[in-house]
Amino acid sequence: MDGHFTGYASLFGVPDLGNDVVSAGAFAASLGERGAAGVRMLFQHDPAEPIGRWLSLREDARGLRVEGAINLAVQRGREVDALMREGGLDGLSIGFRTLRSSPQRGGLRRLLAVDLWEISLVTFPLLPGARAAVPDGTAAPLAMELRAFARRLAPRGAPSGRPAVSPSPSLRRPTQEARMTVHVSPNAAAAAPETKADPYALLENKAARPASDAEVGAAMGELSRAFEAFKETNDSRLAELEGRRSGDVLTEEKLARIDAALDSARTRLDRLTLDGRRPPLGGDGPSRPDPASVEHKAAFDLYVRAGESGGLKRLEEKALSAGSGPDGGYLVPQAIERDVLRRLANLSPIRSLATVRTISGGLYKRAVSTTDAVSGWVAETAARPQTDAPSLSELSFPAMELYAMPAATQTLLDDAIVDIDAWLADEVETAFAEQESVAFVTGNGVSRPRGFLSVDNVANSAWVPGKLGFVATGAAGAFPTANPSDVLFDLVYALRAGYRQNASFVMNRKVQSTIRKMKDADGNYLWQPPVSADRIATLLGFPVAEAEAMPDIAANRLSIAFGDFKRGYLVVDRAGLRVLRDPYSAKPYVLFYTTKRVGGGVQDFDAIKLLKFA
């Protein structure tokens, strides 16, 4: 019948873009109390826009399965129904109150019990897999083709024009019963003032939207308060050490707790800003997809879902591409590849600092001079004296194969609600980022990029091209006891002035925690928290990039790097992200062997300096 549709409003065990995970059974009590008739169907979480009713709401093994009927007697209902049948609207988002939840590793929040109030049809769901489909299936193929295109219409929330992706909000407001997390969409906020008498203002929803100013401000305030508490407690610890030569155990424990809270506050702020920078799939594409891209995407979706490769074969034969086919997999649409690379720039710390070049072959070479520049001043009519020939050396950056192998059930692939493009991009980006983050720091250059810590190093006083210079702390596995911060100044000034202008510190979180306790001669802390949401923490006024692949402080370890990584390190991406479908190796799952080629290495050995704990 007209207006009828089905879908999944929530998926169990799948993290959304706000880092929430819904557990199976979370809706059971609420559905038992309210039933489908007691849950409202809204448009974009606006209580002034009811558009129909829910015929069935039930939990199954996958998630919250919904069946609804749009009221076509309502103008907004007719508009929504038309958009759904044309493939322009298919997102589902829940509005709820959290009854029970628990924190998980990696900053996730697991929802154990929720009070479900409404389910909305939305343009951009916070859970990409929460989708609706019309039952006759006529709109499904078009929806799959246009879904990525529709994502490009996401509103821009930040002044910088960053694409809008919602983080996990943490605003809190008191109620008569308890304090709970508040997620209110702009439309809901306008239509429903936040008062104790208005229960709707207390609901969370899962529509993707940019982080609000209040959320960012709350995160900044939390970080600022944590740092002030850290300074106060650390000052007390230092006073105790000076007076009694030993610190109070309770003070040390308190400082450790505050230090952990400071890390937690930084993580939350980083997540807000990272999610704000993370674009939806196809977020920067053209306003109208070209026919070739649409054809490629349709053929690729058919290959991923059903294993039918005929369309991709014809496209690659038409493009005269070599090396394609069942053995090497097929190229993914350019929009997916472009978005995976852009997301990697946000997730991989060294990639975000380095120079990144895209090549079409398997090797990038460049010539570098190993001597000073050969030049001089001369009058207009004076003879030009002969200069020495420059000494040149060639650096090679091979692109190594990096792979990920996400798995899916055939049931998932058959479901027209699931956005295959977004699913594949989400699955591979984290795996790629983790591998890159390690390789760019410690990779040995064998079947992986060469990390900057794997390059030969020498004391900076004896630096020669082809090696990285280091400054020693003078104490094995530690900062020096007297004036420990002096070695950081030595490291900064070991770098030439031309490189210092764009230099950054690189270290892991544990090393950063140690440095946070240091002061300069005037009693000012060397480490400072970010001054705004779009900035990062600084050390001696220079940005601090957090790379967990950097080693902890230990004897002879190179635990801190400082330099202009834009000039010092090169990341090479070979164009083309390939996918090979494998339905046989892990039945009943279908594996997707996804590969990209990436290389990396130091390109300017004078641009990066290291601190050696020896």
Tokens representing 248 are 């109070």
Q: Is residue 227 part of a domain?
A: no
Looking at per-residue pLDDT, the higher value among 59 and 578 belongs to 59
pLDDT tens-digit readout, 320-329: 443 344 445 6
Mean pLDDT lowest among 136-140, 304-308, 340-344, 398-402: 136-140
Average pLDDT, the chain: 77
Provide the pLDDT confidence category of residue 57 given band limits of 50, 70 and 90: very high
Give the containing element (helix H, strand E) for 293: helix 291-306
Quick check: 317 pLDDT over 70? Answer: no
Residue 274 within any structural domain of the chain: no
- Classify residue 273: in a domain, yes or no: no
Do 562 and 577 lie in one domain? The reply is no
- pLDDT given for residue 582 in this prediction: 86
pLDDT confidence band for 148 (50 / 70 / 90): very low
Taking phi over 0 as left and psi of -120 to 50 as alpha, with beta for the rest, 152 belongs to: alpha
**Are residues 408 and 532 both part of a single domain?**
no
Q: Is residue 65 part of a domain?
A: yes
Work out the burial of residue 378: count CB atoms within 10 Å of its CB; fewer than 13 is exposed, 13-18 middle, 19 or more buried: exposed
232 lies in some domain = no
Task: Give the residue with greater pLDDT, 189 vs 89.
Answer: 89
pLDDT-derived band at 116 (thresholds 50, 70, 90) equals very high
Nearest Cα neighbor of 3 from 64, 53, 56, 42 is 53
pLDDT band at 552 (very low <50, low <70, confident <90, very high): very high
Number of domains in the chain: 3
In order, the DSSP letters of 50-94 are EEEEEEEEEE-SSEEEEEEEE-TTSHHHHHHHHHHHHTS--EEEE
Residue 389 counted as domain residue: no
Top pLDDT among 51 and 189 is at: 51
Q: Domain check: are 583 and 558 in the same one?
A: no
Q: What is the pLDDT of residue 194?
A: 32
Confidence band of 189 (pLDDT split at 50, 70, 90): very low
Distance CA(222)–CA(270), nearest Å, equals: 13
What CATH number did the domain enclosing 606 receive?
Answer: 3.30.2400.10
Same domain? For 85 and 17 the reply is: yes
| Predicted local distance difference test score (pLDDT) of residue 53 | 94
- Answer for the pair 127, 206: CB distance below 8 angstroms, yes or no: yes
Provide the 10 A C-beta neighbour count for residue 529: 21
Over the stretch 517-526, which tens digit does the pLDDT of each residue have? 888 888 888 9
Indicate whether 412 pLDDT > 70.
yes
Closest C-alpha to 528, from 515, 518, 536, 537: 537
Q: Are residues 60 and 93 in the same domain?
A: yes
Q: Are residues 76 and 159 in the same domain?
A: yes
386 assigned to some structural domain:
no
| Residue 609 clears pLDDT 70, i.e. is over it | yes
pLDDT over threshold 70, residue 187: no
d(CA 106, CA 430): 12
Cβ neighbours around 192 below 10 Å, total: 20
Q: In this structure, is residue 513 part of a structural domain? A: yes
Indicate whether 473 and 614 sit together in one domain: yes
**One domain, residues 502 and 561:** yes
Say whether both 69 and 16 belong to one domain: yes
> Looking at this protein, which amino acid is placed at residue 58?
R
pLDDT digits (tens, 9 = 90+) for 249-301: 666 666 677 667 666 666 666 655 555 544 444 444 444 455 666 667 677 77
Domain encompassing residue 39: 4-210
How many CA atoms, within 13 angstroms, populate the side-chain half-sphere of residue 358?
Answer: 8
Structure pTM?
A: 0.54
Q: Are residues 43 and 154 in the same domain?
A: yes
Helix (H), strand (E), coil (C) string for 89-138: CCEEEEEEEEEEEEECHHHCEEEEEEEEEEEEEECCECCCCCEEECCCCC
Question: Could you read off the pLDDT of 444-461 as tens digits, one per residue?
Answer: 999 899 999 999 999 999
Q: Which of 162-176, 478-492, 568-582, 591-605 has the lowest mean pLDDT?
A: 162-176
Query: CA-to-CA distance for 308 and 302, rounded, in angstroms?
Result: 6
Residue that terminates a domain, selected from 183, 210, 237: 210
191 has a pLDDT exceeding 80: no
- What's the confidence (pLDDT) of residue 108? 83
Q: Are residues 14 and 48 located together in one domain of the fold?
A: yes
Query: What is the pLDDT, as a whole number, of residue 152?
Result: 43
Kindly report the CATH number assigned to the domain that includes residue 530. 3.30.2320
The residue among 177, 210, 243 that closes a domain is: 210
Examine the fold and report which residue of 535, 552, 569 is the final residue of a domain before the chain moves on.
569
CA angle 204, 207, 209 (to 5 degrees): 105
The answer to whether residues 553 and 609 belong to one domain is no
For the beta carbon of residue 50, count every other beta carbon within 10 angstroms: 16
Average pLDDT over residues 348-364: 89
Confidence category of residue 201, pLDDT binned at 50, 70, 90: very low
Residue 97, domain CATH? 3.20.16
